[in-house]
Amino acid sequence: MIGDIIETKDCQLKDPMDLFNSGQVVKICAPMVRYSKLAFRTLVRKYSCDLCYTPMIVAADFVRSAKARDSEFTTNKGDHPLIVQFAAKEAQVLCDAARIVCPYADGIDLNCGCPQRWAMAEGYGACLINKPELIRDMVRHVRNQIDNPRFSVSIKIRIHEDLKRTVDLCQKAEATGVSWITVHGRSVEERHQPVHYDAIKIIKQSVSIPIVANGDIKTLKDAENVHRLTGADGVMVARGLLANPAMFAGYEETPLKCIQDWVDIALEHGTPFTCFHHHLMYMMEHITSKQEKRVFNVLSSTSAVLDYLNDHYGV
């Protein structure tokens, strides 16, 4: 972490709130386990992505272990504005984690939306939407202990079956000083059901801080529709950007230039082969035939991938 990070210390960090006050819909790359790392953030920023999140980091491990910090958090001068997302359940632990990243990032986000069983069992993620007082304590602690008033503190949630409870949670979070709230428009139990954009609209109308809409946004047109339906101040995209990192720039599918950019960035960053290859598999999903996929998806070295791209696409 620190090797990449030292140069960032003196640079002028950007204020994400300026984006929300710009009057434009803020285009955001979601926190994605294994995928929204520095190299990929560098790529999407080239294609009109305004704000990027790190993958979710367990705050307790991050605070306790230098090894966890080195493997989980890498950034550089161009990687702004940047939000570090933490899974936490104790106010002081979240605070300590925020303090560590504060010189290098523009804000932190508390994950209150992850529905995975392990996270819920540990008291992280979506189970926090039923603990508004705990969220309040965690946000308040960070607000009180981080000196930089421009450092944002946001939360990412799922919705309750009873939307009144979600509205109440959001209003309490606003009163505590949360910078903005990202709403994934599904309940904890819902996985592939349609997103409740109407719920996001009601939440947006119930608070005066920015609201970010998340869920099933695959194209720039989807993003514009969701903004129209919900009135949200920003849109957060996960799978849509994996499949097409250039989507915010208006491309319908991944352009070859973007694939070339990924190769250059990934090699420059020393991206591990599995991650390098997986990203390409996602990006090329819609532009390769079944037969090509069968060959490309089983390649097992960087040189084999580079040869394939050169032979078939001139990349």
276 with 161, same domain?
no
The answer to whether residue 40 sits within a structural domain is yes
- pLDDT one-digit tens code per residue, 120-158: 999 999 999 999 999 999 999 999 999 999 999 999 999
pLDDT at residue 119 above 70? yes
In the numeric block, which tokens belong to residue 170?
A: 């959001």
236 with 263, same domain?
no
Domain containing 296: what range?
A: 256-313
33 annotated ligand-binding residue: yes
In the numeric block, which tokens belong to residue 36?
A: 């929204």
31 annotated ligand-binding residue: yes
162 with 303, same domain?
no
Q: Which pLDDT belongs to residue 13?
A: 54
In the numeric block, which tokens belong to residue 140?
A: 């308040």
The answer to whether residue 272 sits within a structural domain is yes
90 with 229, same domain?
yes
The answer to whether residue 208 sits within a structural domain is yes
17 annotated ligand-binding residue: no
Q: Phi and psi dihedrals of 297, rounded to 5?
A: -70, -15
Give the domain CATH number at 81: 3.20.20.70
112 included as an active-site residue: no
Nearest to 81 by CA among 44, 117, 118, 112: 44
The answer to whether residue 4 sits within a structural domain is no
Cα→Cα distances 94→101, 102, 127, Å: 11, 12, 16
Q: Which pLDDT belongs to residue 302?
A: 97
Residues 6+ apart with CB under 8 A from 266: 39, 275, 276, 279
Residue with tokens 């904890």: 188
pLDDT at residue 173 above 90? yes
Residues 57, 59, 64: CA angle, nearest 5 degrees: 115
The answer to whether residue 238 sits within a structural domain is yes
Average pLDDT of the chain, as a whole number: 94
Residues 6+ apart with CB under 8 A from 228: none
272 with 152, same domain?
no
Q: Phi and psi dihedrals of 42, rounded to 5?
A: -60, -40
Do 203 and 183 contact (CB within 8 A), yes or no? yes
- pLDDT one-digit tens code per residue, 183-202: 999 999 998 999 999 999 99
Identified catalytic residue from 29, 52, 102, 114: 114
148 with 167, same domain?
yes
179 with 209, same domain?
yes
Q: Phi and psi dihedrals of 288, rounded to 5?
A: -120, 150
In the numeric block, which tokens belong to residue 88?
A: 């936490």
Q: Which pLDDT belongs to residue 141?
A: 96
- pLDDT one-digit tens code per residue, 11-68: 345 689 999 999 999 999 999 999 999 999 999 999 999 999 999 999 999 999 999 9
Residues 6+ apart with CB under 8 A from 109: 31, 53, 83, 84, 85, 86, 153, 154, 155, 156, 182
77 with 106, same domain?
yes
Considering all CA atoms of the chain, what is the largest pairwise distance in Å, rounded to the nearest integer?
58
184 annotated ligand-binding residue: yes
Q: In sequence order, what are the beta bridge partners of 212? A: 182, 234
Q: Is-above-0.85 flag for pTM?
A: yes
Q: Which pLDDT belongs to residue 15?
A: 85
Cα→Cα distances 200→75, 122, 166, 177, 210, Å: 32, 27, 10, 20, 12
Report how far residue 211's alpha carbon sits from residue 170's, in angstroms, rounded to the nearest whole number: 10
In the numeric block, which tokens belong to residue 9?
A: 């210390």
Q: How does residue 3 score in pLDDT terms, banded at 50, 70 and 90? A: very low
Last residue of a domain, one of 225, 249, 273: 249
Residue with tokens 């069983």: 117
16 annotated ligand-binding residue: no
205 annotated ligand-binding residue: no
Nearest to 151 by CA among 80, 207, 220: 80
Residues 137, 96, 112: CA angle, nearest 5 degrees: 50
The answer to whether residue 307 sits within a structural domain is yes
| Domain count along the chain | 2
The answer to whether residue 102 sits within a structural domain is yes
The answer to whether residue 267 sits within a structural domain is yes
136 with 263, same domain?
no
Last residue of a domain, one of 249, 271, 295: 249
Report how far residue 137's alpha carbon sits from residue 176's, in angstroms, rounded to the nearest whole number: 8
Last residue of a domain, one of 249, 269, 284: 249
**Overall residue count recorded for the chain in this entry:** 315
Alpha helices in the chain (DSSP H): 2-5, 16-20, 38-45, 59-64, 66-72, 91-101, 117-121, 132-145, 163-176, 197-206, 220-230, 239-243, 256-269, 273-284, 290-296, 302-313
- Please count the CA atoms within 13 angstroms of the CA of 15 that sit on its side-chain side: 10
237 with 292, same domain?
no
- pLDDT one-digit tens code per residue, 236-294: 999 999 999 999 999 999 999 999 999 999 999 999 999 999 999 999 999 999 999 99
245 with 266, same domain?
no
156 with 263, same domain?
no
